[in-house]
Amino acid sequence: MRLLDELFRSKAVEKAISDETCLVRMLEVEAALANALASSELIPTAAARQIESCCNLNSIDAAALSAGAKRSGNIAIPLVNQLTRSVAAKNVEAAKFVHWGATSQDIIDTALVLQAREVLHLILDDLEQSCSALRRLTESHRNTLMPGRTWMQHALPITFGMKTAYMLSALHRQSRRLQDVLTSISVLQFGGAAGTLAALGDKGPAVAEEMAQRLGLSVPSTPWHSHRDRLAELAAALGVLAGSFGKIARDIALLSQTEIAEVSESQEDGRGTSSTMPQKSNPVFCAAILANSFRVPGLVSTVLAAMAQEHERGLGGWHAEWETIPEILSLAGGAAERAAELLAGLEVHPERMRANLEITHGLIFAEAVSMTLGRKIGKSAAHQLVARAVKESRSQRRNLSDVLHEHEEVSRHISAKELQDLFDPHKYLGSTHTFIDRVLAECAEPVGASHGAH
Amino acid sequence: MRLLDELFRSKAVEKAISDETCLVRMLEVEAALANALASSELIPTAAARQIESCCNLNSIDAAALSAGAKRSGNIAIPLVNQLTRSVAAKNVEAAKFVHWGATSQDIIDTALVLQAREVLHLILDDLEQSCSALRRLTESHRNTLMPGRTWMQHALPITFGMKTAYMLSALHRQSRRLQDVLTSISVLQFGGAAGTLAALGDKGPAVAEEMAQRLGLSVPSTPWHSHRDRLAELAAALGVLAGSFGKIARDIALLSQTEIAEVSESQEDGRGTSSTMPQKSNPVFCAAILANSFRVPGLVSTVLAAMAQEHERGLGGWHAEWETIPEILSLAGGAAERAAELLAGLEVHPERMRANLEITHGLIFAEAVSMTLGRKIGKSAAHQLVARAVKESRSQRRNLSDVLHEHEEVSRHISAKELQDLFDPHKYLGSTHTFIDRVLAECAEPVGASHGAH
Amino acid sequence: MRLLDELFRSKAVEKAISDETCLVRMLEVEAALANALASSELIPTAAARQIESCCNLNSIDAAALSAGAKRSGNIAIPLVNQLTRSVAAKNVEAAKFVHWGATSQDIIDTALVLQAREVLHLILDDLEQSCSALRRLTESHRNTLMPGRTWMQHALPITFGMKTAYMLSALHRQSRRLQDVLTSISVLQFGGAAGTLAALGDKGPAVAEEMAQRLGLSVPSTPWHSHRDRLAELAAALGVLAGSFGKIARDIALLSQTEIAEVSESQEDGRGTSSTMPQKSNPVFCAAILANSFRVPGLVSTVLAAMAQEHERGLGGWHAEWETIPEILSLAGGAAERAAELLAGLEVHPERMRANLEITHGLIFAEAVSMTLGRKIGKSAAHQLVARAVKESRSQRRNLSDVLHEHEEVSRHISAKELQDLFDPHKYLGSTHTFIDRVLAECAEPVGASHGAH
Amino acid sequence: MRLLDELFRSKAVEKAISDETCLVRMLEVEAALANALASSELIPTAAARQIESCCNLNSIDAAALSAGAKRSGNIAIPLVNQLTRSVAAKNVEAAKFVHWGATSQDIIDTALVLQAREVLHLILDDLEQSCSALRRLTESHRNTLMPGRTWMQHALPITFGMKTAYMLSALHRQSRRLQDVLTSISVLQFGGAAGTLAALGDKGPAVAEEMAQRLGLSVPSTPWHSHRDRLAELAAALGVLAGSFGKIARDIALLSQTEIAEVSESQEDGRGTSSTMPQKSNPVFCAAILANSFRVPGLVSTVLAAMAQEHERGLGGWHAEWETIPEILSLAGGAAERAAELLAGLEVHPERMRANLEITHGLIFAEAVSMTLGRKIGKSAAHQLVARAVKESRSQRRNLSDVLHEHEEVSRHISAKELQDLFDPHKYLGSTHTFIDRVLAECAEPVGASHGAH
């Protein structure tokens, strides 16, 4: 394991995309191919059985593969060579039929699909953990008042539950998107050397059907060796996902600032301590999630830029995907796991939220007054009047309600009681609760419920 | 119009995203808002009518808007100011209710959604043009033999119709993706200053419903001011689309090389001539499409990286989208139009394809022999035997079939007739026709058929 | 002018890269070429004079150029055609020699170099404005105490002048970098159709020398049609520059938050007002700078990815640069101008800085105590002891100094006076003033001083 | 080692940036710090010696570091903890002074600088290998005629030595750029918790000076914890470098196409064989270099986008660099090594170059005729006349010289002998040899000569 893996990554995801798992998946594809060929009577059933029995890591000398990859330009060729030798050691006849009719890319791409599928399931599970935490926070804090902030300035009162509901809604959409991508990428790659399956005569489709069934994949209408839109779609969807995590982490980091202190990361296990400053409590998981969300967009652009792959199978573009797509899966997966942990342990400080709401001495209610007054004297005139009062309030360090209370044109249109109400944040929440209810209703059930056993 | 617009862009798309259209869409949103407010009896119907009647470019001094945008940080604030003055000039009372309850971002985002929707329809139309051309090419050239190429080297025989069928299949998937995105982005943005619709009391949802209906949009469960996943999904989908166009243009450019010359761009209207070289016929549209496909990935990464928008409405990230998303629409739209023109006028040279197929004196059939022989002596042994024959064929400049014909172990397993057949490309196409048939069946109908009137 | 230009861009830069200026620069290159050819006696001097006299926008129908660019794949071909016709109208003989020996790319690249040079000078001027403002701020606020923040949490006391000195130092480095890039990109492009200057026999180098001298450029050792490293270096340097501006804008935006309020943007001319909230004062220029700094990295990646241009002159990669490099110049130039304005008008609130320093009741001095104590009992033990005191201070809402004062092990090692001193921020600034002095010394003179008249 | 490392990476570079080396470098920095503190009499010399003696991997439990990094948000904190325990086991007193006055980022950044420096030296060495191979190719093939190609079409004759000279010139510029970057990044990071070196009183600068000297670095005017321009410059320079390698690999891949076959990669050790096609000889190293050059631009954009780091030390942006900058070093280093190997073994086929030059039956000389004729009848008229002859030549499949020979207006202006000369490629090379000579002169000496022992 690399030094920063626990910080940035998820162990389960790393396992799913490790070199070792990659080889296992490639061998699974070779086994499925052998069995499918036997089903179509293209190779002897005994040969298929023999091949399948060798399709495991015992047959493989991983160290030698890397040198082979430098020679051949991919990992499948040396793997097939080793597998063939391993089968031959048991049964020379069976060894004739290893990798029959396939091309390296069939194996590599299908193995990648299998890995991506597993990672998507893991991410969906972590997303559901985040959603679950956000549901709890939304329910607990639907009435917890805090300043809404726009342009990083106080705007209007909101509730913390509304903030988390909007996050929940975004992650729920992400779950749906990933479900769609899961379907669209779960396709077999099988085309032979040039996408014609020439070596199988007219039995190509039957073999493909059988292989796909064995691997739990669907059969696309054609091979897609140099049409990479499905993988690009996967990368792009994970880019969008990472962006949503980045938004959440950014907000939590901002709310955790010393002067604001409305939430804080769990400090369990000494999380967030500094090497030199005893008072520090750094938002470590926010940093990790933000880092990952910074890193994915550039990788997505790489996958998109690599799509212009030449002719029937490309040069360089395909190779650029090999480590990039797993890296996207890894960083998105790490962000998903870190986010689930962050949200599960998030500490909320309603009293600080309330205190911050009042830090401007009523200025956050300026719009409420302006709108009410606007109904009487017009939006524009009201806006200007209140803006002047805001200035006065600031320079005199008095509460805006007091300043307005003394203002003749205000009292002409707004009674003292009315004015007092305008400075009651609970009365200026508009549709907050409607929005919260909608989100809770639509996100009651995990999207992931349908993604089933895996 | 900018100097390079005709080369890189589509006039219709440029119109849809022009500054002028942007203002028109924003004014449409203001009109829909006024009418919806009147429906909910929040403002007088007469005021709404007056506002609506001013919601056109006659009310607007575009030159003054830019200075206003520098002051306010967005274009909606000066626009609303001008609109208010324009309404006030007709009816002071009505002017009170301009932009009532909305925030700038409600207007800007919804206008962007309307523009994106129009561009997606235009792109879907151009995609259908490309698909239509590809269907024709596939039908005409399903039997036109040519070399399949992998790693930019001859691999196996394919047909040109197979190549175009795979392109068709990819563009068909892209159409489906854009249809999905069209649905997911066609949502209203309406949340007021901090996403609570506070200024509308409990009538926010009703107003939103009415606005959305008037604009032909759906109502999302919550405002999405700082949750930009839908727009990021749009950008990402266009990135994937541009990648598919890049792949097609790359292939055509490669096939157009002087030594290969299997296809050429239409030279209608003197397209592709050089300033100094009379013999030149440059693949101009390929260059334009490739250029656009190079440019979109970086822009997509910008949109993804800008997703971490602060709190209820962000600072900088939102601003980074304003020109970037239209630029993505523009470049993708330009690529779509140029691709439709390129494919419609593509000249195919079957005789060159056939000549190139034979340029290696039979080496392209090496796999065919190897597989057949492999059934007898094992894949690995056959591979090695044929590889040796390939070397001989190269050094002696003789046809591979002649070399093999003389080879004892070959003749032991393969008859002269059989060997001859192995060098017949029509007999080594495997599932080519099945794949073509599948694509033609699945792409018989334009996906766009359902995207209807717009 | 586009609607958002005043917000995001600089008028002077926009002028330098406008379509119109681009044409003017291309015509200047054609004129320099004609004169240089005449100097080498390759064309008649009278012809060169006639060509030069037509090298102005009067000869050009810009509207027709765009259609020509779609046909030819670049703007130089139709421009040369128009210029030739225009010369021919005056002197048929002279018209024979328009664009003699050059290729389109010679003209387009050299014109781009001229434009980039002008923009770099403009940016250097704006950088010097920023540096000047930062020097003033540094001098004024070298003793203005404020909380230093790491991980967005209070760390140790610093001074605002130190913060601005570090910014100054960074911008000073950027100036030096741009000066270097200015030198490295100020090279002529002149190679003819394939980089051999074949059409000029053996006089190519002499013509190049003369052209370069007329244009104020240097002559590179070879043409560089498809080796784009100098332009990529330009793009990359502007990417690094934009990043520094983004850092500055990010810090100012964070310091402007309602709860922190240590600085604020100038509100001159009503900058930063909201459409609905009268109390708002949005950091508009921070938003614009951040937006530009978000947008440049993706564009830089486009230029880098486009470097793999084919053979002697490429297809697609070159085309991808045409609008991307000017866009990078534009966004970097806009950020530079906005930053100069932002820093010149920045309002600093020392009393808020001081208040925030004390907001944690002494926790910000935890390191000071820990280090002093560490000298006695070891860093690790001291760290733990102080960390416990921090906890106590927090839970009891007492000043850390009071808590520590009562602590036996502390008083054993640190006297009351010493302890008091440890909570004096002026005494815990370390090398702050040394660092400030160094920066002021090294940045006393504008780097730009040497970039001279332009 | 990972499976694809031998294909994409360089062993020496991987070692220099490995987790293990990273820890070694961090420990070197801690040792240098301890010794420097002792020199300034801030800690006892004996303590420094004890600390230094523990600064090696024996003190470290790498497995535990990863869990610590998840807790602390970086690797330095758990490393310092382990080091402290290890020192304490030997000498409790000395353990008090481990990491005295420094912050985690001081250690991490300085270690990164040391790693980057080593990798730059390795890359410069590989660059020199490439330059050396290109010098040889240029000298051997300065007269080897081949088609120059623009827009992927034949343009004019060039020589292969000119092509390699232009590559050489580009790589030579890259070496100079890397030398500059080597200087600018070789700076110490040392600022303590908030960039003030507060914990060292007034001795910060002296300690920094001593540390820097011990590590062979220079002392910057200020700490640069959140001003990342130097690292961004490093990343950007490697991006530009990778682009040049991509250009070279792209050209070689294009020249290796089956129909063109002008060069081929060495097939030593069975490089480039296929899993199914015995005739294949894939340009494997081109693919690897192109893949790396595709991957770097997105990573550069990540580093640029991460520059907006908050306040005195940032959150997320810094973290995003940790794996990204080493990955850029790794991919650029891999491309450099692969390019050196590719160029050293490149096989050139002059007879194919010559054959391809003639494949168009003289069309490649169209410009030569057009320019000569242009001197008589004007460039534009000549261009049109020759363009017509080109068409005739194509449709009649006759050599262009024969077609022109029969043309009256041609023979009026050009004698038969002259016409024959125009179709002699050696006579239409213009300044080719001058350009080659310049490059050979300027690149005679390795830039790397000065980068000295390391």
pLDDT of residue C447: 62
- Please give the pLDDT value at position A59: 85
| Position B453 pLDDT exceeds 60 | no
User: Quick check: D443 and D135 in contact, CB under 8 A?
Assistant: yes
Residue of C nearest to B301 (CA): C298
Q: What mean pLDDT value characterizes chain B?
A: 94
Least confident of B81-85, B239-243, C379-383: C379-383
Write the pLDDT tens digit of every residue in D185-205: 999 999 999 999 999 999 999
d(CA A205, CA A196): 10
> Does D277 sit within 8 Å of B366, measured CB to CB?
yes
Q: Is B274 noted as a catalytic residue in this protein?
A: yes
Highest mean pLDDT (candidates A389-398, B377-386, D347-356, D416-425):
D347-356
Q: Tell me the average pLDDT of chain D.
A: 94
Residue type (1 letter), B410: V
Q: Mean pLDDT across the stretch C443-453?
A: 61
pLDDT of residue B454: 42
Given pLDDT bands bounded at 50, 70 and 90, which one contains residue A452? very low
Search chain A and give the residue with CA nearest C400.
Answer: A279
Q: Which of B75, B120, B83, B117 is nearest to B100 (CA)?
A: B83
Choose between D247 and C268: higher pLDDT: D247
For residue C422, name the pLDDT band (cuts at 50, 70, 90). very high
Q: Is D215 exposed, middle or buried (0-12, 13-18, 19+ CB in 10 A)?
A: buried
Q: pLDDT-based confidence at B11, cuts 50/70/90?
A: very high
Cβ–Cβ below 8 Å for C371 and D199: yes
At D383 the pLDDT is 87
What is the arithmetic mean of pLDDT over A199-213? 97
Using a CB-CB cut-off of 8 Å, the residues of chain B touching D147 are 258
Mean pLDDT of C168-186: 98
Give the number of C-D residue pairs with CB atoms closer than 8 Å: 366
pLDDT (0 to 100) of residue C278: 77
Tell me the pLDDT tens digit for each residue of C144-153. Answer: 999 999 999 9
* Candidates C260, C283, C366; nearest CB to A279: C366
> Which residues in chain D are closer than 8 Å to B384, comparing Cβ atoms?
278
Contacts of C298 in chain A (CB under 8 A): 297, 301
- Given a cut of 70, whether residue A450 has pLDDT beyond it is no
Asked if pLDDT for residue B451 goes beyond 60, the answer is no
- Judging contacts by C-beta atoms under 8 Å, the chain D residues touching residue A71 are 269-273, 284
Q: Of C209, C219, C220, C217, which is closest to residue C37 (Cα–Cα)?
A: C209
Is B279's CB within 8 Å of D151's CB? no
Evaluate if residue D449 carries a pLDDT over 60. no
Binned at pLDDT 50, 70 and 90, residue D273 comes out as confident
pLDDT score for B378: 79
d(CA A81, CA A65): 10
pLDDT tens-digit readout, B125-150: 999 999 999 999 999 999 999 999 99
Beta bridge partners of D154: D149
C56-83: per-residue pLDDT in tens? 999 899 889 999 999 999 999 999 999 9
**Which tens digits make up the pLDDT trace of A155-202?**
999 999 999 999 999 999 999 999 999 999 999 999 999 999 999 999
C65: helix, coil or strand? helix
- Contact state of C151 with A282 under an 8 Å Cβ cutoff: yes
What's the CA gap between B29 and B27, in Å, rounded? Answer: 5
Contacts of D257 in chain B (CB under 8 A): 149, 152-153, 257, 259-260
The residue in chain A having the minimum alpha-carbon distance to the alpha carbon of residue B227 is A170
How far is the CA of B175 from the CAs of A279, B171, B451, in angstroms?
Answer: 56, 6, 10
Residues of C with CB below 8 A from D242's CB? 304
Note the pLDDT tens digit of each residue in D76-113: 999 999 999 999 999 999 999 999 999 999 999 999 99
pLDDT tens track for D23-35: 999 999 999 999 9
Q: Do D364 and B273 touch (CB under 8 A)?
A: no
The C-alpha atoms of residue D401 and residue D398 are separated, in whole angstroms, by 8
pLDDT score at B380: 81
Of C222, C246, C430, the CB nearest to D308: C246
The mean predicted confidence, pLDDT, of chain C is 94
Q: From its phi and psi, is residue D3 left (phi > 0), alpha (psi between -120 and 50) or beta?
A: alpha
pLDDT for the residue numbered B228 = 98
* pLDDT reading at C446 higher than 90: no
For residue C280, give the nearest of A153, A301, A356 by CB distance.
A153
Q: What is the DSSP letter of C214?
A: H
Picking from D77, D130, D150 by the largest number of C CB atoms within 10 A of its own CB, the best residue to mutate is: D150
**What is the distance between the alpha carbons of residues C252 and A377, in angstroms, rounded to a whole number?**
37
So what's the pLDDT on residue A378?
A: 79
pLDDT confidence band for C367 (50 / 70 / 90): confident
Q: Min CA distance, B388 vs chain C (Å)?
A: 33
**Catalytic entry in C177, C295, C313, C338:** C313
Asked if C302 and B297 come within 8 Å (Cβ–Cβ), the reply is yes
Residue of chain D minimizing CA distance to C229: D240
- Chain B residues whose CB is inside 8 A of the C301 CB are 297-298, 301
Residue to mutate among C307, C418, C432, with most D CBs inside 10 A, is C307
Q: How confident is the model at residue A269 (pLDDT cuts 50, 70, 90)?
A: confident
Chains in contact with C, where contact means 3 or more Cβ–Cβ distances below 8 Å, are A, B, D
What are the pLDDT digits (tens) for D219-269? 999 999 999 999 999 999 999 999 999 999 999 999 999 999 999 999 887
Which member of A25, A149, A295, A313 is catalytic?
A313
Instruction: Tell me which of D103, D127, D240 to substitute to probe the interface with C (most C C-beta atoms closer than 10 Å).
Output: D240
CB contact under 8 A, D253 and B152: yes
The three-class DSSP label of residue D183 is helix
Strands A153-159 and A145-150: antiparallel
Tokens for C5, please give them.
């230009």
Q: How far is CA A89 from the centre of its chain?
A: 45
Residue tagged active-site, from D117, D135, D313, D338? D313
> What's the gap in Å between the CA of D261 and the closest CA on chain C?
14
Which residue, among C158, C277, C384, C391, would best test binding to A if mutated, counting the most A CBs under 10 Å from its CB? C277
C413 vs D contacts (CB less than 8 Å): none
Per-residue confidence at C184, pLDDT binned at 50, 70, 90?
very high
Q: Percent of chain B having pLDDT more than 90?
A: 87
* Contact at CB, C294 and B284, closer than 8 angstroms: no
The pLDDT > 70 percentage for chain C reads 98
- Cα B172 to chain centroid distance, Å, stands at 11
DSSP for C261-317 reads -SEE---GGGTT--SS-TT----HHHHHHHHHHHHHHHHHHHHHHTT---SSB-SSH
pLDDT, position A270: 82
- C275 falls in which pLDDT band (50, 70, 90)? low
Contact A439 B379 (CB under 8 A): no
Mean pLDDT, rounded, for D393-397? 89
Is A380 noted as a catalytic residue in this protein?
A: no
Range C428-448 average pLDDT: 90
Cβ within 8 Å, pair D287-A3 = no
Label residue B375 by pLDDT band (50, 70, 90): confident
Q: Tell me if D70 and A277 make a contact (CB, 8 A cut-off).
A: no
Partner residue facing D287 (CB), from B151, B154, B383? B151
- b/e per residue B324-357 (b: at least 16 CB within 10 A): bbbbbbbbbbbbbbbbbbbbeebebbbebbbebb
ipTM: 0.96
Contact state of B158 with A194 under an 8 Å Cβ cutoff: yes
Neighbours of chain B (3+ CB pairs under 8 A): A, C, D
Q: Measure CB to CB from residue C367 to each of A156, A256, A277 and give the nearest one.
A: A277
pLDDT: which is higher, A139 or D273: A139
D174 pLDDT band, cuts 50/70/90, is very high
Task: Assess whether pLDDT exceeds 50 at residue C453.
Answer: no
pLDDT computed for residue D454 by the predictor: 42
Q: Residues of chain B with pLDDT > 70: what percent?
A: 98
In three-state form (DSSP H/G/I as H, E/B as E, the rest C), the secondary structure along chain B is CCCCHHHHCCHHHHHHHCHHHHHHHHHHHHHHHHHHHHHCCCCCHHHHHHHHHHCCHHHCCHHHHHHHHHHHCCCHHHHHHHHHHHHHHHCHHHHCCCCCCCCHHHHHHHHHHHHHHHHHHHHHHHHHHHHHHHHHHHHHCCCCEEEEEECCEEEEEEEHHHHHHHHHHHHHHHHHHHHHHHHHHCECCCCCCCCCCHHHCCCHHHHHHHHHHHHCCECCCCCCCCCCHHHHHHHHHHHHHHHHHHHHHHHHHHHCCCCCCCEECCCHHHCCCCCCCCCCCCCHHHHHHHHHHHHHHHHHHHHHHCCCCCCCECCCHHHHHHHHHHHHHHHHHHHHHHHHHHHHCCEECHHHHHHHHCCCCCHHHHHHHHHHHHHHHCHHHHHHHHHHHHHHHHHHCCCHHHHHHCCHHHHHHCCHHHHHHHCCHHHHCCCHHHHHHHHHHHCCCCHHHHHCCC
CB-facing half-sphere around the CA of D378: CA atoms within 13 A: 16
B405, B419 in Cβ contact below 8 A?
Answer: yes
Which pLDDT tens digit goes with each residue over A37-69? 999 999 999 999 999 999 999 989 988 999 999
A257·C260 Cβ contact <8 A: yes
Contact B247 A233 (CB under 8 A): no
Chains with 3 or more CB pairs under 8 A to chain A: B, C, D
Amino acid at A38: A
